[in-house]
Amino acid sequence: MADIAGISAEQAHREQALVEEVVASFERCQDDRLRVVLQALTRHLHAFLREVRLTEEEWNAAIAFLTEAGHITTDTRQEFVLLSDVLGASMQVVGMNNPEVGDATEATVFGPFFVADAPEIPLGGDMSFGAAGEPCLIEGTVTGTDGRPIPHARIEVWEADEDGFYDVQYTDGRLAARAHLFSDADGSYRFWGLFPTPYPIPHDGPVGRMLQATGRSPMRASHLHFMVTAPGCRTLVTHIFVRGDEQLAIGDSVFGVKESLIKEFVHSAAGTPTPDGRDVGGREWSRARFDIVLPPGEGGGLHVSG
C-alpha cells in the first residue's frame, strides 16, 4: 500500500480494506484472465483515486465526461478511441503487443478512420479517388525479416485530404483517399496517393475540451496509414510520416511518431514527367519510398474502427 500524505492511519486502513474487499469480490471469477485484469484494474483505480484524493465533484465531472464521450460516439465518430489515443494508452498497447523483431517495420496507432472493404486498386493505381491534394507516388517492397519478398501481401492504405479530413468525416457519403492493393510476385508495390498534410484529430467533443483545458494541441503530424497482412506474418498497422514536417518538431497529439517511420518525400516541379507516365494534370507531384518488413506471426489484432 502506498503511503498517502495527510491522512490518519485509521483512514488509510479503511480505504485499503475497501480495496481488498473489491479485489476479493472477483476471486470466484472462473475466467482466469478476466479475474487478473479486473483485480489489477481495481487496485490501480483505487490507487489513483487515493493518490489524487479525488473529490466528489471531480468524480461527477469524470462521469459526465465519459457520458458525453458515449453520447458523441457514433458509427463514424469514436470518442473513446480518441481518449485512448491522447492518453498514450493506444501507443502503449501497440508497443506491448508489437515487440521489436529484427528490422521489422515498427507499428503505430490504428486511429478511428479505417474502413473495411475499401476498393481494390491495381499496382500503380490511384487511391485518392478524387480527394484534394498533391499527387504522390508511394513505392516499396514487402519482405519478411528473413529478407524474402512477400508476394500478394494485402496493403490497406488510407489518409486525410489536403484539407485535413478523411472521407468519412464528410456528410455526403463519399469514398476517397482509401484503397487496398496487393504486392506483386516479387514483393514490390506502388500506388498513387496524396502528399500527406497535418490535421487535427476531431476536437469538438469532450476529448478536444480536455486537450484545450490542458494546453495541448489536437494536431497530428502529416502521415499516411498502412495495414499490411500476409499469411504467416504478424499484421502490421502503421503510418509513414514526412521528413521536414514542422508538426514533427511540435509534437503529435497521439504520440504515434517513430523515427524509423519518417520518410523522405521528394517533390517534382509541375510539368515534370512521372516515372510511370501517369497524367497528373501538369501539377506538382511527389514521391516517397517505404520498404515494409513483416515479422513471422499470426495476423489479425483487435481493431476498433469508427
CB of 112 to Fe ion, least distance (A): 9
Can you tell me the distance from the alpha carbon of 130 to that of 39, in angstroms, rounded to the nearest whole number? 51
Alpha carbon separation from 16 to 2, 5, 54 (Å, rounded) = 10, 14, 16
Find the binding residues for Fe ion in span 125-184 (CB under 5 A): none
Q: How far apart are CA 64 and CA 152, in angstroms?
A: 48
Nearer to ligand BEZ, 201 or 280 (CB): 201
Taking Cα atoms as reference points, which of 126, 94, 107 lies closest to residue 229?
107
Residue 135: how many other CB atoms lie within 10 Å: 21
Give the x/- contact pattern for ligand BEZ in 125-164, rule: CB under 6 A.
Answer: ----------------------------------------
Residue from the set 104, 105, 112, 226 that interacts with ligand BEZ by CB under 6 A: 112
Can you list the positions of beta strands (E) in 29-177? 135-144, 154-158
Interacting partner of 85 out of ligand BEZ, Fe ion, none (Cβ under 5 to 8 A depending on kind) = ligand BEZ
**In the complex, residue closest to Fe ion by CB:** 111
Residues numbered 192-231 forming contacts with ligand BEZ, rule: CB under 6 A = 201, 220
Strand 236-242 vs strand 262-263: parallel, antiparallel, or unpaired? parallel
Please report the sign of the dihedral spanned by the C-alpha atoms of residue 11, residue 20, residue 88, residue 69: negative
Candidate residues 254, 257, 288, 292; the one interacting with ligand BEZ per rule CB under 6 A: 254
Shortest distance in whole angstroms from residue 72 CB to ligand BEZ: 14
| Closer Cβ to Fe ion, 82 or 233, answer by number | 82
